[in-house]
Amino acid sequence: MSRKIKLIWDFRGPASAKTAEHHEIHLKEYIAAEKLPITITGFEIYDEMYAIAYIVVTDEHMIALRDALKPHRGELFNE
């Protein structure tokens, strides 16, 4: 079974929550346009100055999506 990897974009500043929320919309649009079998995206707000957007991919898609979308970092995804 393939590992699941969470590709993450970090947003900082007073507009971080709205930026992360909006970035998730673009991630969903990319998934639809490329017809990818990816179902997990999201955003998380940690405080008024820090939020993230993310997409969860398998090993087989990770390299291509990392190169195309340029996330800030990644980590193993635990459901």
Residue for token digits 């590709």? 7
DSSP letter, residue 72: S
C-alpha closest to that of 19 among 49, 40, 41: 49
Alpha helix segments (H runs only) across the chain: 16-34, 59-69
Average pLDDT on 17-32 reads 98
Question: Is residue 14 predicted with pLDDT exceeding 80?
Answer: yes
Q: DSSP 3-state assignment of 61?
A: helix
Q: What is the pLDDT of residue 9?
A: 98
Q: What is the pLDDT of residue 78?
A: 87
Q: What is the pLDDT of residue 53?
A: 98
Question: Is residue 2 predicted with pLDDT exceeding 90?
Answer: no
Tens digits of residue pLDDT in 25-79: 999 999 999 999 999 999 999 999 999 999 999 999 999 999 999 999 999 998 7
Judge whether 2 and 38 are in contact, CB under 8 Å: no
* Sheet with 4-12, side-by-side order of all strands: 41-47, 50-58, 4-12, 73-76
